[in-house]
Structure 1
């Protein structure tokens, strides 16, 4: 398969054809079939690539991820980036010009869900060109049997699409950042004494120690997840395991840090308890899975119902934790006063 985080490249541009489609919905839907890998913290595949999987796994996970992004991760981004090159200000400015909000009406929810499904179909379409049983490989068997540098052609297509997705992201970000720097420089020369009218109205610079504390908190939570996963794995030298488990741990670490450090007083304690319950729930489920594997035949089908139930409970907990402090989180990305170039995601 192409790298999971490269898939949005092939779905998000559909928003240009139908502007009412949600970019967030398209992006999350394009990654939905692979989301169970990151919940399992390993390349575990059940029904994620089937239409039932979209309804039973992809849908709840996508809604939970959208809540986490809107309320926790997006407002956290400027605090994660260094002030070198004004990267933190760049992130804050771009976020302030994007109306980050979850669907708030029946119509918005309808377009969001439709976007999820279209993104999901785009994932299957791209996988069809890079899987042995995919539509393109089945119709062109030379993709399976012809080899270059020891690898079949369809495998090279996997690497090509993965690299293409990541390169386009990197090139676009570099171009946009350079353009932002040029505009900022011109504004600095035209406005005196500084950039007060250009800076995001809600942006406030964070001390380096604050940013280090955020990274330290995220790293600790991430290591708590990653260490036992690798230690108790049957194949701890598997690079794919390290990639999937590492990304899962990092994302959950940032999510946890955002919840804890952006919430004051009593709310922080409540969210800490919620995170602890989420971790305990995940640990209990994993422990029960290990026991089942040790006591059942290796050819016995796994209890898919338990996996689906776990996904739903996990998604609900993430959604509740994310939504509990939504109003405070949005304060960090309020639109710039007088800006007319806002875009909803």
Structure 2
């Protein structure tokens, strides 16, 4: 499968339709959420038409709520200050209601998930497009792990292309976005930011590698390296998400009401 975090590259352009950016991004990740719940890439229900409605959109709404209500400002506090100045207005802009906007969020989740499923249809051995076009299953490259077929090369290539497009798009947006003031309580020292990031990265990575070894062991053949990497990455993302929730809860305990609504203007006229 293309790396989960590259999938937003196909969904972000739909903001031109007036769709909700964060919902598009979460929606584009949602078909893979079931992997991170069961710590295994063997569950594909989220990639089906029925799963789109009974799994992807409901799970997407839950993750979107967790992000905006719990994770958003604590994660933002880990960004460099120049990034915070540009991202803060975007973070403040989101709201779930009124009802028409909520329905727009649901539709954005749907479109995001659809881009994920469409992308996978071209890059999975059992994807609809791959099944319909046998040329995509033609052998292309021989490796120690076996034969790389066309769809697999498309999978790896599109993963790197998607990640590169996201990085380029973000940097371009950052350069042209005016900077807004931020609240002092969002600021962490650079040393604190790095300490938190390194701690979460190393701890989740270490535990995930142990899980990968346990899941695939014994690693007696080079062909098992890829399953080991997949299991490790899935577990690592799951653990990192849990760590972000724990960090965010601690952050909120020290920073209640990080983004209070500004006071209403005084509309009374003095006589």
Aligned to 2:56: 58
Separation in structure 2 between the aligned mates of residue 46 and residue 136 of structure 1, nearest angstrom: 17
* 1:138 and 2:149 aligned: no
Structure number with greater CO (CA < 8 Å, separation at least 6) is: 1
Is 1:143–1:152's contact at 8 Å kept on the other side of the alignment?
yes
Identify the residue that residue 5 of structure 2 maps to in structure 1: 5
- Answering whether residue 238 of structure 2 is matched by residue 248 of structure 1, we say yes
Q: Which runs of 4+ in 1 moved over 6 A?
A: none
CA distance in structure 2 between the partners assigned to 1:245 and 1:42 by the alignment: 8
> What secondary structure does 1:44 align onto?
coil
Q: Deviations over 1:107-164 (max 9, x none)?
A: 1111111221222222221111112232322332121023134411111111121111
Is the Cα–Cα contact under 8 Å of residues 12 and 23 in structure 1 kept in the other structure? yes
Q: 1:157 to 1:213 in 2, by over 3 A?
A: closer
Q: Distance in 1 between matches of 2:12 and 2:218?
A: 35
Question: Do residues 262 (structure 1) and 244 (structure 2) align?
Answer: no
Distance in 2 (CA, whole Å) between partners of 1:9 and 1:223 is: 25
Taking structure 1 as reference, are residues 27 and 7 closer, same or farther at Cα in structure 2, changes over 3 Å only?
same
Query: Does residue 15 of structure 2 align to residue 15 of structure 1?
Result: yes
Alignment partners' CA distance in 2, 1:141 and 1:7:
24
Kindly indicate whether residue 211 of structure 2 is the aligned counterpart of residue 229 of structure 1. Answer: yes
Matches within 5 A, 1:284-299: none
Residue 69 of structure 1: how far off its partner (Å): 1.6
**Corresponding residue for residue 106 of structure 1:** 99
Shift of 1:231: 6.2
Q: Which runs of 5+ in 2 are unaligned?
A: 220-227, 263-271
* Partner in structure 1 of residue 259 of structure 2: 330
Q: Assess, with a 3 A threshold, how the Cα gap between structure 1 residues 208 and 162 changes in structure 2: closer, same or farther.
A: closer
Using the TM superposition, give the Cα deviation of residue 203 of structure 1 relative to its aligned residue in structure 2, in angstroms.
4.1
Provide the rounded CA distance (Å) in 2 between the counterparts of 1:97 and 1:226. 32
Question: TM-score scaled by structure 1?
Answer: 0.63
Q: Single out whichever of 144-153 and 108-117 deviates more from structure 2.
A: 144-153
Q: What SS is found at the alignment partner of 1:233?
A: helix
Equivalent pair of 1:22/1:112 in contact (CA under 8 Å): yes
Rounded to whole Å, the distance in 2 between the matches of 1:203 and 1:260 is 17
TM norm structure 2: 0.78
2:9 is paired with a residue of what secondary structure? Answer: helix
Aligned residue pairs, count? 249
